[in-house]
Chain A
Amino acid sequence: MKYEAVIGLEVHVQLKTNSKMFTSVPHGFGNEPNRLIDPVVMALPGSLPVINREAVAKSIQVGMLLGCDIAEVCKWDRKNYFYPDSPKNYQISQYDQPLCLNGLVEIELAGPSRSEEGPHRKVKLTRIHLEEDVGKLTHFEQDSLVDYNRAGTPLIEIVTEPDIYSADEAFAFLTALRRILVYAGISDCDMEKGQLRCDANISIRPVGTTTLGTKVELKNLNSISGVRNGVAYEIARQNQVLAEGGSLVQETRRWDADRNMTTSMRTKEEAHDYRYFPDPDLMPVSVSEEWKAELAKDLPEVPFDRQRRYQQEFDLPYSSASVLISDRMLADFFESAVEFGGSPALLANFVVNDLTRELSSGDEGVDLSNCKVQPQGLSELVKLVEENVISNQIAREVLGEMLKSGGNPRDIVKEKGLEQSSDEGELEALCREAIAANEKAVNQYREGNAKAINAVKGFVMKATKGKANPKVVNDLIERLVNE
């Protein structure tokens, strides 16, 4: 029998706010243990929570970006369970009236090659609710230590429908989701820092059937590739169990990235009973149309919409459009340069290839936002190419100089005498010299090897240090060789 996998994801995302969910203590990664605490975080007797407006605002924005129905009124519930990382031994969450319901995340699967666009589809969301993060436990042989720095960090839980059908789709989902959230400044989504965490519910069923199989909850998927590998492993494991005539048990399993396998954490022993009830310390939040309109103003265009626009409006190939939209800074830079003028295709090329390469090999800490080339400068540079003042190759040289000195490309070209030479008389003499010096290549060319002529061209370009207008040189050599 052939089986198909059905996967639902639960994604937890820490929100990028200044302070915690229910108190004005800052939150962040990498502080000394138990610095980010106060009576509320430590759940001291008598302390009370107060809702962080910005956390609600950011969650509403997430809902808007993902096309959710935003609740007119949402409320807060206590989820009661005991664990040493949970200071109150209940978590403030949202149970039956979450902030967002439904919604879709557009994903793109891999295409036939890296430069070709893959198929897109939309994964259905069940809900998004806002809650608070727990502290961090470190285990030792004799005891465990608790650090409450993370406790109370605003956290959204994004729950998908069982609407993901392969490890690659799970990977594509998280990639797309992360990109949207980072784009909108909702979260940095750094999985290493725990800002984005993912659990997966995985089952398999005979192809063609609709009932869900026995569900396994997979935890500890601590990186995006971990999600792909963990889910793939688990699907394969379940298939194998059934193939060997075994049966699956409902259980929680843990992905062990080092050993590249999943291991059972617990089977469904005591069913959880979280005894949810409305938190009497907190009032419901209503979301007015005005508030939504105000929040909508700050929303960016979602990445795939941008990609489609670049392909249509600027006629960019998928290969550059997809790279541009992978990083909001890159795309914003590109669009800003386009506004200053210059061919979008050329600008895209410079941004995607040259600028990123220069930056990645350059100084640490220098990126698009603070490097010495800004959109206007790049636009100027591209205009010089379009005006035939310099060649593409010289432009790259100028770009390097701009990054170093921060100068204006026109000044650099003038200062260094990099203008393209199109003087036919001067170039004709050089071309004749080049033909004479490359007799062998010329003969091969005449015998039908078209590429052999490149040696002649190269001679001219080298002699002019690249400044010769390649088109003029081409035409001249063509004529002279056939004389």
Chain B
Amino acid sequence: MSHHNLNTLTAVELGELLAAGEISSVALTQACLDRIESVDPGVKAFLSVDREDALSQARASDERRAAGQPLGPLDGIPIALKDIVAVTGQPLTCASKMLENFVSPYDATAVHKLKEAGAVLFGRLNMDEFAMGSSTENSAFGRTSNPWDLDRVPGGSSGGSAASVAAAETVLSLGSDTGGSIRQPAAFCGTVGLKPTYGRISRYGLVAFASSLDQIGPFTRCVEDAAMFLDAACGHDPKDSTSLPGLETNFLEGMKNHRDRPWKIGVPKEFFAEGLDPEVRASVESAIQFYKESGCTVEEVSLPHSSYAVPVYYILATAEASSNLARYDGIRYGHRSSEATDGIDLYYKSRGEGFGEEVKRRIMLGTYVLSSGYYDAYYLKAQKVRSLIRKDFDDAFSKVDCLIGPATPTVAFRAGEKTDDPLSMYLSDVYTISANLAGLPAMSLPCGMSSDGCPIGLQVISPVLQEAEMLAVAKRFEEAHPYSGIVAPSNGKAGSAS
């Protein structure tokens, strides 16, 4: 195998090459850094890259391997990080002016676990400010472009994470998903993106947007890579009270064990209602056809309350966010206004200057729905409808093993297209939000391209804790439609791996 374009291979392939001694982690890491240098001026996936630190991690990995002591299948594999997880000594900006100069004094648990697995953790990936957005246009440091078409958005909020994998600037990346922030950009950029069951991966060190919905997950080129990431990152964390206890799962093995099951697949009819782009519909329907032909039973199911998912989400997520973001006051850290006349004025001005438009909008909305006199009508009501949404899934999963449908209603939209219409932006998460509300694992995998060359994503949603089954379902499609080494053209500078 040629060792050119190392950065375009999958982690599974690279792991084999590393194990065979055919390549070094330093060479692989350097290939990613070179690629960033050549394409990131156009894609702008990264806010910053500590090259020296990345290479020194790669050297340490190579030394471990030389000593016969690799830490596992991810040892030496570069993983780029959304700028929302804490890494000791690295910036943690959440793409906000508020945290422009913040340097984390501690590691997120997921970061700690990936470090222990030997991964080369590098870079700070662009995102919507504090993960609030669906296009990565809400970054205080400029928008990220979709590597397939630089005029389009990569999706969001983990737009940098999706774009960096699609543009082959890294092998894997880490993102976070509150209402679709992994699956929607994965679909827009043509990568695999997975949001685990709520509580699978510790949230300790993941900057909170909406605590009851946030989950960390991977962006990868293939389904197996996602399983490998989960193997390293999942596990109970005593520092996160919402972390699920005592679950030892080998996802890679589990996925293989479930390989040939005759799945009973549900197709939620509400996901094919108005607003779904015809090309996306056609592509997803052909994927459904594939499953039928490969021995699965497919039946239509209903999630009757799914149309309420977006309003429920925008009440609950903004309410939690209004409180989660109260800590950014310019006192212990963060942007401090130089105009403040006293300690109270400091709050108004520091927060007024430090937060961007969408963040302010959501803080105000969240403050409103919690405020005296409105709590029952909005917040409490939304919590109850959330129960109903969860119950819809329970009912569906009493009949089928998993659900499939589109990840997004459309392919990647053009930059600037929705920035003045927050509500239409919110609706781009219409198919992804319910899985967060119900705490379910869900993923997006590439299932086709639109006529104008934009990737289309297929979403799989599984019952709680059934990631291995979900991966197996996705794997079946992928085996028949394998990853071809095609990476996004990124302004025409990239091509396929030869």
Contact = CB atoms under 8 A, between A and B. Distances in A.
Contact of B102 (A45, A48, A78, A281): A45
A43 B241 CA distance: 16
27 contacts: A39-B105, A44-B104, A44-B105, A44-B106, A44-B332, A45-B99, A45-B104, A46-B86, A46-B104, A46-B108, A46-B203, A47-B205, A48-B204, A48-B241, A49-B241, A80-B323, A88-B327, A146-B331, A273-B372, A275-B370, A275-B371, A275-B375, A277-B320, A281-B208, A281-B211, A281-B241, A283-B242
Interface in A1-42: 39, 42
Contacts of B102: 45
Contact of A84 (B99, B105, B208, B343): B343
B85 A90 contact: no
Contacts of A80: 322-323, 326, 370
Given A42-B332, A88-B327, A277 B241 contact: no
A25 to B, nearest CB: 13
B379 interface: yes
B300 to A, nearest CB: 34
Given A277-B370, A280-B320, A283-B242, A46 B205 contact: yes
Contacts of B86: 44-46
A130 to B, nearest CB: 15
The 8 closest A-B pairs by CB, nearest first: A89-B326, A280-B212, A275-B370, A280-B211, A45-B207, A46-B205, A43-B327, A273-B372
A148 B331 CA distance: 12
B370 A82 contact: no
Interface of A: 39, 42-51, 78, 80, 82, 84, 87-90, 144, 146, 148, 273, 275-277, 280-283
Contact of A281 (B104, B242, B371): B242
B319 interface: yes
A31 to B, nearest CB: 18
Contacts of A87: 327, 332
B241 A47 contact: no
Interface in B284-333: 319-320, 322-323, 326-329, 331-333
Nearest to A281: B211
A283 B343 contact: no
Contacts of B241: 48-51, 281-283
A219 B66 CA distance: 68
A82 B92 CA distance: 23
Contact of A82 (B207, B208, B326, B375): B326
A277 B379 contact: yes
Interface string B321-356: 011001111011100000000011001000000000
A277 B375 contact: yes
Given A46-B86, A89-B327, A281-B241, 16 more contacts: A42-B332, A44-B104, A44-B333, A45-B102, A46-B85, A46-B206, A47-B204, A50-B239, A50-B241, A80-B323, A80-B326, A275-B323, A275-B367, A277-B323, A280-B212, A281-B208
Given A46-B205, A273-B372, A39 B106 contact: yes
Contact of B332 (A43, A144, A273, A282): A43
* Most A Cβ at <10 Å: residue of B326, B328, B347: B326
Nearest to A143: B343
B327 A45 contact: yes
Interface of B: 85-86, 92, 94, 99, 102, 104-106, 108, 203-208, 210-212, 238-242, 319-320, 322-323, 326-329, 331-333, 343-344, 347, 367, 370-372, 375, 379
Contacts of B206: 46
A283 B108 CA distance: 21
A394 to B, nearest CB: 63
Given A275-B323, A282-B241, A283-B241, A46 B329 contact: no
B333 A46 contact: no
Given A46-B85, A46-B86, A50-B238, A90 B370 contact: no
Contacts of B242: 280-281, 283
Contacts of A273: 371-372
Contacts of A283: 241-242
Between A46, A50, A88, A275, the greatest number of chain B beta carbons within 10 A of the residue's beta carbon is seen for A46
B102 to A, nearest CB: 7
A320 B205 CA distance: 58
A275 B370 CA distance: 5
Contact of B326 (A45, A84, A88, A146): A88
Nearest to A23: B239
A43, A144, A280: most-surrounded residue (chain B CB, <10 A): A280
Q: Which of A42, A51, A89 has the most CB of B within 10 A?
A: A89
B331 A84 contact: yes
B82 to A, nearest CB: 12
Contacts of A50: 238-241
Contact of A144 (B105, B343, B347): B343
Contacts of A275: 322-323, 367, 370-372, 375
B453 to A, nearest CB: 37
A171 to B, nearest CB: 35
Contacts of A277: 319-320, 323, 370, 375, 379
Given A45-B207, A46-B207, A49-B241, A82 B329 contact: yes
